[in-house]
Amino acid sequence: MPMSEKKKKLALLILMFNMFITMGGIGTVVPVLPSYLMLFGVGGTVLGFLTATFALAQFLFSPIAGNLSDRYGRKPFIIFGLIVFGCSQILFGMANQIWILFLARFFIGAGAAFIMPPVMAYVADITTVEERGKGMGLVGAAISLGFMIGPAIGGFLATVHLHFPFYFVGTFGLLAALISLIVLPNIKHQIDENQLEKPRENLFKQLARSVHTSYFVILIVVFVFSFGIANFQSTLSMFLTYKFDYTPVDIAIGIVIGGFLGVILQMFIVEHLFKRFGEMKVILVNLIVASISMVGMVYVSGFFVILTVASIFQIATTFIRPAVNTLISKLAGAEQGFAAGMNNAYMSLGNMIGPSLAGILLEWKLNSPFIFGAMILFGCYLLAHIWTVKKAPQLMHPESVK
């Protein structure tokens, strides 16, 4: 029985709230970590590996979460992920040794892994193909808004105490779990009757199976794109702290402005862009914009100029994410959970490798992560463009994938 429009809107609101809390919690650490890590006497390299630890957990657990949600439903895993996420954020704020930071960050990533693929699959379950871009755009806007509000919370609550932002976000994660338990509809989704009888695939078998999907090259784009932007996102706060002596509040302001503009544009423009130009053109254009703005960070100075360039980068990446999510979802057919899990796994691989390398590059030469990241993003553009022209020219046209 199809879900009523009222229940569909309610479900979308709860899913948006969950992604807002998740990304808000992730974003909280961005302006705070440089100062927070100074309490432990460490810097850029540890920052990079902390970010990579989060991504490693996402890489390991996202395919499992997506596959399990295809078998048993979305709601239980969303709630489980929120509980793990909330408790781990609180643990991160309580940490008094570096190994506890790494442990907490790993479980924060694991919690996020059990939230994000089931949420994306849930959206696909309750929307038609025609509505998919709008649904993914709304969830994408919540993701961007969370990543915008998170740094603001982190930057300003850090003035109370450096540990306090993590307690705050952890509490809201647990609150989101309770709201989802009570309010989120437990939908029935279409699966193969024989699917439950199939043996569960491990991560590496799922990765091998993803090679044969129709959206494999899009997954490669997800990996390369994530690798490139992770250089920017993971090192921006440390870069601004080292080069310009910015405080957590300064960094939070810079991140919030770009995030706010990205959210507004995503909520009101992204669906029209998809319909007029198609998801692939949106991806290609914004990969170029992101790579140019990343190089620009090396050569600009002055708070407002830095703010402008960083905002352009954030807006570009804000457009790319829902375009990639929508395109993969349209090509995935009945395996929405699997596709969402693979999407998150490839993203996590990029997020894992990118920050590790960026942290090392940052301590070698301050500007190098941005130059290298821009090269990676431009390479991603070339890969996507060549593959599309040669293998899938229909993706260059609006509404080509039904």
Residue 317 maps to a domain: yes
CATH code at 289? 1.20.1250.20
Query: For the chain, how many structural domains are there in total?
Result: 1
Dihedral sign of CA atoms 166, 171, 172, 176 in order: positive
The answer for residues whose C-beta is within 8 angstroms of residue 104's C-beta and 6 or more apart is: 88, 89, 91, 92, 95
The tally of CA atoms less than 13 A away on the side-chain side of residue 349 is 16
| Distance from C-alpha of 120 to C-alpha of 124, rounded to nearest angstrom | 6
**For tokens 């570009």, what's the residue?**
316
Residue 42 maps to a domain: yes
Tens-place pLDDT, residues 23-75: 888 877 777 877 788 888 877 678 778 878 888 898 888 888 888 888 888 89
Q: How confident is the model at residue 287 (pLDDT cuts 50, 70, 90)?
A: very high
Instruction: Look at residue 197 in the predicted model and tell me its pLDDT.
Output: 52
pTM of model > 0.85:
no
Residue 206 maps to a domain: no
Instruction: Look at residue 32 in the predicted model and tell me its pLDDT.
Output: 81
Residue 1 maps to a domain: no
DSSP codes joined into one string, 177-240: HHHHHHHS--------TTGGGSPPP-HHHHHHHHTTSTTHHHHHHHHHHHHHHHHHHHHHHHHH
Residue 69 maps to a domain: yes
| Range with top average pLDDT, 176-185, 191-200, 235-244, 252-261 | 176-185
Alpha-carbon distances, residue 321 vs 40, 203, 282, 330 (angstroms): 34, 23, 10, 14
242 C-beta neighbours (distance < 10 Å), count: 16
Is residue 219 within 8 Å of residue 327, measured between CB atoms?
Answer: no
Average pLDDT in the 186-203 region?
60
- Would you give the DSSP letter of residue 395? G
Residue 198 maps to a domain: no
Instruction: Look at residue 345 in the predicted model and tell me its pLDDT.
Output: 80
Q: How confident is the model at residue 85 (pLDDT cuts 50, 70, 90)?
A: very high
Better-scored residue on pLDDT, 339 or 255 = 339
Residue 366 maps to a domain: yes
Q: How confident is the model at residue 1 (pLDDT cuts 50, 70, 90)?
A: very low
The answer for residues whose C-beta is within 8 angstroms of residue 243's C-beta and 6 or more apart is: 366
Helix axis angle, 368-391 relative to 216-244, nearest 10°? 160
Closest Cα to residue 65, out of 51, 50, 75, 53? Answer: 75
Structure tokens at 240: 């601004």
Element (H, E) at 308: helix 303-332
Instruction: Look at residue 199 in the predicted model and tell me its pLDDT.
Output: 57
Average pLDDT over the chain reads: 82
Chain-centroid distance, C-alpha 252: 18
| Distance from C-alpha of 239 to C-alpha of 79, rounded to nearest angstrom | 36
Alpha-carbon distances, residue 278 vs 12, 288, 290, 352, 363 (angstroms): 23, 16, 19, 29, 40
List Cβ<8 Å contacts ≥24 apart for 186-193: 186/73, 186/75, 187/3, 187/11, 187/73, 187/74, 187/75, 187/122, 187/125, 187/126, 188/73, 189/70, 189/73, 189/74, 189/121, 189/125, 189/336, 190/125, 190/334, 191/70, 191/71, 191/334, 192/334
Tens-place pLDDT, residues 139-173: 877 877 777 777 777 878 888 888 888 899 899 99
The share of the chain scoring above pLDDT 90, in percent, equals 18
Structural domain range at position 60: 8-184+211-396
Tens-place pLDDT, residues 355-392: 778 778 877 888 888 898 889 889 889 988 998 888 87
333 C-beta neighbours (distance < 10 Å), count: 11
Tens-place pLDDT, residues 87-132: 999 999 898 899 999 999 999 999 999 998 899 888 888 887 777 7
